[in-house]
């Protein structure tokens, strides 16, 4: 009998599971396609540029931009931003080259460069790195990416994570931040004497852009046991488990708790519903039914890719095939009647 490959944790997987068990099922088991947004694409482009400029051989680009207060002062960086804005915009159906998007990315990058970009007084600075933690007792595996790690004297570190969102964390969201705990644990595993601060840098803010959190060794030790519980759960996850913690059935978030509970479902009653101002009403991408396409491995049945458009899938290789599938929508929002299905 073929051994089932173990699923590996990540901060985003855990957060999805915490927020809505059905969304976890649709994203990571059914692997339904999802639509991105302009905010996420702007963030991708900014991350790419920040990683590139962190290399000391490009320090002159940094100097040009900071002195002038705009990326337009450095033609090579400006061209790079436009190149990726064009490519990503065309791929996802957005005009990222319009003035609003370009100006916002310009401001976000300048804000990042102006905020102690190279970590003054550091011993070393490292750009984006991937980590994989494999622990035996308690057992878990978790992976992730750190945007920037700054090492100072006496085993002190600052782990920087760039955020492109338009709002910062509430105190509630910051104090028990899952992503920050994962980063701190990863650093602790690499250096047992590490004393790590995690700094979230919100690129849309020119002032008070930083939020910092720190965890004790006892907190990180307790967090490992939580990871072990979630690791066991996701490796024994079934559709029955997926139906136990719908976001829609959770209480409305208290003030300061952030975006969770029924808010994650959105208030649209049907796909394409418009608000009073004529704009589309947002809703969870997996709330309503839709057709989609998958590329699968014929031997294992694993879903390799999924898309709303068949042409966007890779061409099937030997022992692979494409097929059309239908998603019935979130069961929490569907009322069965004798005639048809109604979504609420």
Residue 2 pLDDT more than 80? no
Query: Final residue of a domain: which of 183, 217, 234?
Result: 234
pLDDT tens-digit readout, 142-155: 999 999 999 999 88
Token pair listed for 6: 């173990």
pLDDT tens-digit readout, 190-216: 999 999 999 999 999 999 999 999 999
Q: Is 329 helix (H, G, I), strand (E, B) or coil?
A: coil
* 107 and 131 co-located in one domain: no
* 93 and 187 co-located in one domain: no
* 49 and 75 co-located in one domain: yes
Mean pLDDT of 97-105: 97
**pLDDT value of residue 115:** 94
Range of the domain at 50: 38-114
C-alpha 138/C-alpha 274 separation (Å) is: 49
Structural domain contains residue 61: yes
- CATH number of the domain where residue 164 is located: 3.90.320.10
* 129 and 213 co-located in one domain: yes
* 91 and 52 co-located in one domain: yes
In the chain, which residue ranges form alpha helices assigned H by DSSP? Answer: 11-19, 21-28, 38-53, 59-68, 75-92, 99-114, 171-175, 178-190, 217-234, 239-242
Structural domain contains residue 306: no
Q: What average pLDDT is seen over the chain? A: 93
CB atoms closer than 10 angstroms to residue 319: 10
* 72 and 167 co-located in one domain: no
pLDDT tens-digit readout, 224-271: 999 999 999 999 999 999 999 999 999 998 887 888 999 999 999 999
Structural domain contains residue 187: yes
Number of domains in the chain: 2
Structural domain contains residue 81: yes
Residue 4 pLDDT more than 80? no
Query: Final residue of a domain: which of 177, 207, 234?
Result: 234
Structural domain contains residue 328: no
Q: 318-324: long-range contacts (C-beta < 8 A, 24 or more apart)? A: 320/295, 320/296, 321/295, 321/296, 322/293, 322/294, 322/295, 322/296, 323/293, 323/294, 323/296, 324/291, 324/292, 324/293
* 106 and 131 co-located in one domain: no
Structural domain contains residue 287: no
Query: Final residue of a domain: which of 114, 146, 168?
Result: 114
Could you tell me the sign of the dihedral formed by the alpha carbons of 282, 284, 288, 293, in that order? positive
Structural domain contains residue 325: no
Structural domain contains residue 251: no
C-alpha 66/C-alpha 331 separation (Å) is: 52
Q: What are phi and psi of 266, to 5 degrees?
A: 80, 160
Q: Is 322 helix (H, G, I), strand (E, B) or coil?
A: strand
**pLDDT value of residue 337:** 45
Residue 3 pLDDT more than 50? yes
């Amino acid at each position: 009998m073929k051994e089932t490959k173990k699923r590996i944790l990540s901060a985003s997987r855990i957060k999805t599971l915490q927020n809505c068990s059905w969304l976890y099922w649709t994203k990571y088991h059914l692997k339904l396609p999802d639509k991105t947004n302009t905010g996420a694409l702007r963030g991708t482009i900014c991350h790419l540029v920040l990683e590139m400029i962190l290399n000391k051989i490009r320090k002159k680009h940094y100097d040009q931009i900071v002195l002038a207060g705009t990326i337009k002062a450095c033609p090579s960086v400006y061209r790079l931003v436009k190149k990726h804005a064009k490519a990503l915009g065309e791929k996802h159906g957005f005009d990222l080259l319009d003035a609003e998007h370009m100006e916002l990315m310009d401001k976000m990058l300048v804000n990042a460069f102006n905020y102690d970009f190279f970590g003054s007084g550091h011993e070393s600075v490292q750009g984006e790195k991937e980590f994989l933690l494999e622990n035996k007792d308690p057992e878990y595996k978790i992976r992730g990416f750190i945007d920037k790690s700054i090492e100072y004297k006496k085993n002190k570190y600052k782990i920087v994570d760039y955020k492109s969102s338009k709002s910062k964390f509430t105190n509630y969201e910051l104090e028990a931040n899952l992503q920050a705990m994962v980063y701190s644990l990863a650093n602790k595993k690499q250096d047992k004497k590490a004393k790590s601060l995690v700094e979230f840098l919100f690129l849309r803010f020119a002032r008070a852009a930083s939020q910092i959190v720190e965890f004790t060794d006892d907190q990180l030790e307790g967090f490992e046991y939580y990871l072990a519980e979630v690791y066991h759960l996701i490796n024994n996850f079934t559709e029955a488990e997926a139906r136990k913690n719908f976001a829609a059935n959770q209480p409305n978030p208290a003030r300061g708790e952030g975006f969770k509970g029924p808010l994650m479902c959105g208030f649209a009653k049907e796909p394409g519903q418009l608000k009073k101002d004529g704009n589309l009403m947002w809703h969870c991408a997996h709330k309503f039914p839709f057709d989609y396409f998958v590329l699968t491995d014929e031997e294992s049945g694993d879903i390799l890719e999924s898309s709303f458009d068949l042409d966007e899938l890779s061409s099937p290789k030997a022992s692979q095939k494409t097929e059309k599938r239908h998603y019935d929508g979130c069961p929490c929002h569907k009322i069965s009647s004798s005639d048809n299905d109604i979504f609420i």
